[in-house]
Structure 1
């Protein structure tokens, strides 16, 4: 089945658009990051469809999934992913999230540990010390309060923003524009610039209110609470030249995960599945095809 084909499924809170490639193998759910879409996992379908059935959804306000009228914080999105799996009849599955999507994946694994066999976190980090955690938490509460006041007004602007989409598409298709935007997240542009052009166009077309909710939600203390109880075998993949999530934040995250294997990719930025698809998916494949890690162990590169 062609991974580029988009499917539509109606969940409890509205429709969701997703891509899939299925041949009767164990399922792997894929959650994209902030401003992204299911299209980011195209290379994953090319590299892993021989060992996994793949399901990649567009989160609300991203890609082709419409924004929701209500709030879509991290806990709401975790419930959406679980509902998505339920509607597809997936009782157990592996789960891979990128950046913001990796945070949502943590909440899914912590809330429903009996459903998630293996967890992969791509390009994610957390606050590195108590001072950073305090600042992030305070900012989260203040911004969340402000958003609750501004949400009705921002929601009313959605029809007007939709009318500007053709202009946004034209603007994002200009080489100087999409190369400049991509340079802020990628270490090096891939040879296929069409992937970059489409990715930037989707980024610019993300629903502003949904994007703002995700950005604020990244500071939610729910993530650290979830990490305290989560015991799912986990692979953390990050990159040494990630300008969004630096390695120090990834190391801090790994230190809080009970059962983790950590892989760092050299000379790579924030989107390893696009920038270094061979190396990235080699690490994912190895993790998926090995036996579950001992829940009491934590394996890091310097100890391997």
Structure 2
């Protein structure tokens, strides 16, 4: 029977906490899940359900998220990576598996670059490797709504900037995902003390995706209709990582974790337990652009 506990930590004088769902019969290293900048420790029930029988599942209210203290002004990637390393130390394990989605993908990737010896396997989804000037302009307009207190307009603009709304492209559960994301954005704007700072950071403090990575087995996955960064660009990003594999998931956009949550959780479970991805039901059959990089064992 898994047991849940919450631990409080601090880094550079900033307090935060993490949650661990402990599995006594685990078969792999703990799995830490990092999501969007406004997503806290209770946002991943599908990972609890799927990974819980096989591994300790770790989620967190990192600095600037959830119930944690706010981040200090200025660049914050280094402090957030230090907070994650502090969690690994507190877990008293040599290595963890790290799952990062969207904003969390950039954070997880930076951690793997900074301390690869502490990361057993790395899964990155919806990686925002390339943001256009038009996207930046869109997010600045969304931010202006937020700063003026126009919360409904902010929620609408931010949601539209994260989803594929082109009806010519089939996206599973598009309307359901749209309503969920917009409602979440509106709730954060009304209730989270970190929303304004999070939006500012998204515009000014982006991770560096230009470098490569070696020494960490990596899976990169994307919804085939991701409009934040295209599936093709995420494939190019994966190609710069030694010992990696890229998978494009059909009928999904940037919010693949909402539109195909069970399939994503199953994929992550297989990857972190070294089970074959090729036999996953209904997920990869249509992913004709699956790409194995650097290791024929992934094929």
Could you tell me the TM-score, scaled by structure 2's length?
Answer: 0.71
Match of 2:21 in 1: 21
8 Å CA contact retained: 2:214, 2:241: yes
Specify which of 247, 250, 264 is matched with residue 263 of structure 1: 247
Is the alpha carbon distance of 1:217 and 1:192 closer, same or farther for their aligned partners in structure 2, counting shifts above 3 Å?
Answer: closer
Query: CA–CA distance in 2 between the matches of 1:42 and 1:289?
Result: 19
Is the alpha carbon distance of 1:103 and 1:62 closer, same or farther for their aligned partners in structure 2, counting shifts above 3 Å?
Answer: same
Match of 1:208 in 2: 196
Helix, strand or coil for the counterpart of 1:40?
A: coil
Match of 2:281 in 1: none
8 Å CA contact retained: 2:18, 2:58: yes
Match of 2:289 in 1: none
Query: CA–CA distance in 1 between the matches of 2:220 and 2:90?
Result: 28
Match of 1:58 in 2: 61
Helix, strand or coil for the counterpart of 2:116?
A: coil
Match of 2:263 in 1: 279
Helix, strand or coil for the counterpart of 1:39?
A: coil
Is the alpha carbon distance of 1:194 and 1:266 closer, same or farther for their aligned partners in structure 2, counting shifts above 3 Å?
Answer: closer
8 Å CA contact retained: 2:223, 2:248: yes
Specify which of 42, 47, 55 is matched with residue 45 of structure 2: 42
8 Å CA contact retained: 2:244, 2:294: yes
Is the alpha carbon distance of 1:191 and 1:250 closer, same or farther for their aligned partners in structure 2, counting shifts above 3 Å?
Answer: closer
Is the alpha carbon distance of 1:299 and 1:202 closer, same or farther for their aligned partners in structure 2, counting shifts above 3 Å?
Answer: farther
Helix, strand or coil for the counterpart of 1:224?
A: coil
Instruction: Give the drift of 1:238.
Output: 0.7
Q: Does 1:32 align with 2:35?
A: yes
Match of 2:71 in 1: 68
Query: CA–CA distance in 2 between the matches of 1:84 and 1:7?
Result: 9
Specify which of 102, 107, 112 is matched with residue 104 of structure 1: 107
Instruction: Give the drift of 1:210.
Output: 3.9
1:211-235 deviation digits (Å, cap 9, x = unpaired): 32243222x54x323x2x4320001
Match of 1:185 in 2: 162
1:1-304 pair list within 5 angstroms: 8-24=8-24, 25=26, 26-127=29-130, 182-186=159-163, 187=171, 188-190=174-176, 197-198=183-184, 200-202=186-188, 205=192, 206-218=194-206, 220-221=207-208, 223-225=209-211, 227=212, 229-290=213-274, 297-298=294-295, 304=299
Instruction: Give the drift of 1:65.
Output: 1.7
Query: CA–CA distance in 2 between the matches of 1:110 and 1:79?
Result: 13
**More helix per residue: 1 or 2?**
1
Instruction: Give the drift of 1:250.
Output: 0.5
Is the alpha carbon distance of 1:208 and 1:51 closer, same or farther for their aligned partners in structure 2, counting shifts above 3 Å?
Answer: same
Q: Which has the higher contact order (CA 8 A, sep 6+)?
A: 1
- Count of matched residue pairs: 258
Instruction: Give the drift of 1:82.
Output: 0.7
Helix, strand or coil for the counterpart of 1:273?
A: helix
Gap runs ≥5 in structure 2: 137-146, 164-170, 277-291
